[in-house]
Amino acid sequence: MPEINEWNIRKYFSSLFGPDAIVANIEELGQGFHGTSYTVTVKYSGGREKKYILKTLHAKGFGHDYPADRANVIIRSLMDSNMLPNHIKVIDAGSIQEDNSLQSIGKPEEFFIIMDEAKGTPYWEDMDAIRDRNTLWEDDEYKIKVLADYLASIHSKKYTGENSQELYKRVVRDFIGHGELTMGVIDTFPAKLEFVNEKDLVEIVQKMIEWWSKIKDLSHRLAEVHGDFYPGNILFNDKELVLLDRSRFRYGDPADDVTCLAMNFINYSVLAHGEFRNPFKILLESFLEKYLKSTKDNEMMKVAPLFFVFRSLVCIHPSFYSPEWMKSRGFKDESIKNINANKKKIVNFAKNILNEEKFKMDKIDSYLSE
């Protein structure tokens, strides 16, 4: 945690209230479960004196593990507290910079980020081509090796900090309850769908909770991850791999990234052909073989079902993988016509894999069956 020193506090309050505001005293008020508070006494011209509370958040537990989590709490307080009658007034919020200086956020209404332009061809186009020519080329094998090697490389960076147990429990918990993950995705489904009903979804979530209980203590698996390693976030600029939109977790279970790409191979084949077959079967086998050979992660398949299920629910989402999306990707009319029947097979996959002790490549056909 960056150090908050007297000089930086004085400089910050002067920039906030002007040069006539003099910090007369700084005192640590105390530490609670969530953070540390300081009383800052400011004297204004004319003799008026006022006390302010400066608060920072601890970096451990309660969903505050990453700086972005703590920023979320701070910004929410800044934007929401003053809207509530009788709530103490929040004056400002800010960040502690790398040089330990304090910088104001100001009075935000919304937020934005700026990024470099991504140059390259989305991996979707490779999958389209593989589907249409119904065979793999040398370049396909090259790219699969790049993808497997990349994941093996980042997943080799394990996290062993003192909060690793809490952080891994959060990863497993969030895969069920987070607003961008299982429950959040389910809550955006329309009320009635031909291929899944509420009973199916309740059954899936209940089984996922059982999986939470089984794997939540495997904190030795915590590693650097991308978090949304699917073809839309994967580009190739000639031979160079380019990635977009790292999501949710700085550290997570490697199975998150592996199952994300793997499930898209399965889903793409099912949408195109009504079954999981070559060349996508060969593509998945090659990807897993190369990855597992590099990582020697013998536990991967034992935790994979939980993560496969979330990716399955994304694949059946009527907004993400819709008839319009299929048309834009060049799927045949017959495939588009059968989308609901084929999405039902992905629902079967989710339900069946949760009853397995581990994911087995040679059982994918049975997972897709009723």
Report, as an integer, the average pLDDT of 46-65.
85
Render pLDDT for 259-290 as a digit per residue (tens, 0 to 9): 999 999 999 999 999 999 999 999 999 999 99
| Class (C level, CATH) for 121-367 | alpha beta
Cα 262 from Cα 277, distance rounded (Å): 13
Examine the pLDDT at 44 and tell me if it is beyond 80: yes
Examine the pLDDT at 101 and tell me if it is beyond 70: yes
Say if CB 188 and CB 319 are below 8 A apart: yes
DSSP 3-state of 364: helix
Examine the pLDDT at 166 and tell me if it is beyond 90: yes
| Class (C level, CATH) for 6-104 | alpha beta
What does the pLDDT read at residue 19?
Answer: 86
pTM for the model: 0.88
What does the pLDDT read at residue 360?
Answer: 96
Work out the angle at residue 286's Cα, subtended by the Cα atoms of residues 282 and 312, and round it to the nearest 5 degrees: 75
Q: Taking the chain, what is the end-to-end CA distance rounded to the nearest angstrom?
A: 52
55 pairs with which residues across the strands?
37
Where does the chain hold its CATH 3.90.1200.10 domain(s)?
A: 121-367
Joined together, the tokens standing for residue 361 give 């490549």
Where does the chain hold its CATH 3.30.200 domain(s)?
A: 6-104
Report, as an integer, the average pLDDT of 174-200.
93
Percent share of the chain, pLDDT over 70: 99
Cis omega (within 30 of 0) for bond into 2: no
